Amino acid sequence: MTTPNSAPRPGVPLPGQHLPGAGGHPEPADPERIRAEIDELLAELDAGGGHAGPAESAEAGVDITRRARILEQAHEVLVQALATVDKI
pLDDT tens profile 32-56: 999 999 999 999 988 866 555 555 6
Q: Against a cut of 0.85, is the pTM above it?
A: no
Mean pLDDT of the chain: 76
Give me the residue spans of the domains in the chain: 56-88
Q: Please compute the mean of the pLDDT values over residues 7-31 and round it to a whole number.
A: 66
Instruction: Print the SS3 string covering 20-76.
Output: CCCCCCCCCCCHHHHHHHHHHHHHHHHCCCCCCCHHHHHHHHHHHHHHHHHHHHHHH
What local confidence, expressed as pLDDT, does residue 88 receive? 42
